[in-house]
Amino acid sequence: MKQKKDRMAEKGTIEIIEAATQLLRQLPLDAYALYFLGSLPFILGFLYFWADMSRGALAYQYAAEAAFSMTALYIWMKCWQAVFCVRLQANLLGCSQPTWTLWRVLRLIAVQTAIQPLCFIALPVSSVLLLPFAWVYAFFHNVSVTGNGKTSDIGAVYREGWQQAKLFTAQNHIFIMIYSLFGIFVFLNLAIIIYLFPKLLSTFLGIETSFSRATWGMLNTTLLMATIGLSYLVLNPLAKTVYVLRCFYGESLQTGADLKVELQRFAASAKAAVTVIFLLGCISFGSPADMAYGAKNDTARINKQTTDLAISAFELDNSINEVISKREYRWRLPKERVVKKEDAGIIGKFISGLMDTIKDWLKPVIKWFISAIKWIMDKLFGWIKPVPAENISPGNWMQSLRIVLYALIFIAALILGFVLWRVYKNYQPDKTATATVAASKPDIAREDTLADELPADSWLKMAEDLMSRGDRRSALRALYLASLSLLAREKVIIIASFKSNREYERELYHKAHHAPELLAAFSGNMRIFEGIWYGMHQISDETLRIFKDNQTRITAIADKL
């Protein structure tokens, strides 16, 4: 296992980026066509969705249908990106393209549909937490590689993708840093090009567009989203290729696939070298007859060597498996971990794996933190450590100083404990103030006083008290608030600070239309109250009597609702 890790440690971040760039250059154009066939519809649909939802006057009426369409386009993009990753793997291994049967296509769609939409939750949460972002980002790229339709077991694809995400942690973090920095420059370059392109058309070709006429009008969120979409189309193939290589090298730790690829390349190089040497020998030596006879023998020998090389690669693989399975070499193999079957679903397994990764990451951090604390304590207080008895001398004044310091620290601790105890003992909530707040009554003269601040009985008592003091105007408002509080208690209306009296009347009409007498009594009192409270009219005895009669009917009818 150590030899494998040492072999993989040679693959640095810059090296794997260079390998990914080289692999992208070797891809045929039809592979890029597959990628853009899946990604372009989503990017264009997203731009239309963004512009329509942000500026359309009636966008809210079909927001659900538009969101569902974007979901379908996203699944379409992820499925084609998985096919693109399959093409990358085939080109990397130097093998033929896989056969796409109907069942494999359905398995690929099922796996990508089940896992990929979770990134809209996992990536924002992990970016806020910051620590697990690199693993989560790598996981969803790995799903595009591992969810290639070979299996329909979503759990197996999830476990394989997460296992690959946990490998080569430093390489993954450094790549994301370089990729993000490079993405910023790509974004700025594309934004400048998009912004200046209409001006260049106007300056050099005389073509006027709405963008060249309204220069500042281009600076909007739609331009921002268009630039982000173009940056994604430019950068994402590189990210996909890097994670294809990471998964390939991660699987090679167990299967040795990288060695097989190197052997295949070596066999091809050896075959070409033998052919060149043979041709040079034919040109330099021998008569035409000898050359013909030698050529025949050499051709047979080359074919035999080629066959031997092909057989040797297969036999070498079997020999390696036989040797490492012997008893004397088993101690070099890593101990296999028994995977327990859990009843939790894919979300539970994902959260469990995420927590395990965070714990593994925090262990060295906690260890380093404890070491740092010990180092600081040693530097600050190391000089007051007690001196061994054999080192004590009659003139050692440092020992006396240490004793004094220990005594002062002990006394300071006692004083701090005593102060904390007195603070805790003397801390008592101000019950008098609480009771005063609880007993305080709302100000009837304030416009923002709501009916639900007191029950109906309290409002009626306040009205009687105000009436006895001769303040009929305030008493009338207290009676009106009492009726509102009573109707709110019976769930006929809902008290809110933004509602007007007319809105309460309409709400009562909708919810208590079966009680016309209640509507008539409330409407009559509302008009009387608005005329007195906002019109500053005097309250006559007849008006007050009518208001009280309506109040009595409201109370009687509301109790029966």
**Predicted confidence (pLDDT) at residue 25 exceeds the cutoff of 70:** yes
- pLDDT value at position 94? 78
- Over residues 34-76, the pLDDT tens digits come to 889 889 999 998 888 888 887 777 777 778 888 888 899 999 9
Q: How many other β-carbons are positioned within 10 Å of the β-carbon of residue 341?
A: 5
Choosing among 1.20.120, 1.10.3470, 3.40.50, 2.30.29, the CATH entry for 450-560 is: 1.20.120
Closest CA to 278 of 308, 301, 309: 301
Question: What's the pLDDT at 497?
Answer: 79
Domain definitions of the chain by residue range? 2-255, 261-332, 450-560
Among 130, 140, 144, CA closest to 165: 140
Within a 10 A sphere around the Cβ of 457, how many other Cβ atoms? Answer: 11
pTM: 0.47
What's the pLDDT score for residue 326?
A: 63
pLDDT in tens, 197-220: 888 888 888 787 767 666 666 677
Q: Please give the average per-residue pLDDT across 489-510, as a whole number.
A: 83
Which is more confidently placed, 309 or 401? 401
Q: How far is CA 477 from CA 133, 487, 521, 549, 551, in A?
A: 60, 15, 16, 15, 12
Segment among 17-21, 363-367, 552-556 with least mean pLDDT:
363-367
pLDDT at 237 over 70: yes
Q: Specify burial of residue 122 (Cβ count, 10 A radius: 0-12, 13-18, 19+).
A: buried
Mean pLDDT value across residues 105-112: 89
* Greater model confidence, 364 or 377: 364
Pair 519, 493: CB distance under 8 Å: no
Percent with pLDDT over 70 in the chain: 72
C-alpha 227/C-alpha 207 separation (Å) is 23
333: left (phi over 0), alpha (psi -120 to 50) or beta: beta
- Per-residue pLDDT of 388-420, as tens digits, reads 544 444 444 455 556 666 677 778 788 888 778
CA atoms within 13 A on the CB side of 108: 24
Give the separation between CA 65 and CA 70, rounded to whole angstroms.
9
- 162-188 residue pLDDT tens: 888 888 888 888 888 999 999 999 999
How far apart (Å, rounded) are the C-alpha atoms in residues 334 and 479? 84
Tell me what pLDDT residue 291 has: 47
Q: Is 270's pLDDT higher than 70?
A: no
Q: Which of 259, 210, 239 is nearest to 201 (CA)?
A: 210
Residue 93, pLDDT score: 81
Do 536 and 489 form a contact (C-beta atoms < 8 A)? no
Average pLDDT of every residue of the chain: 77
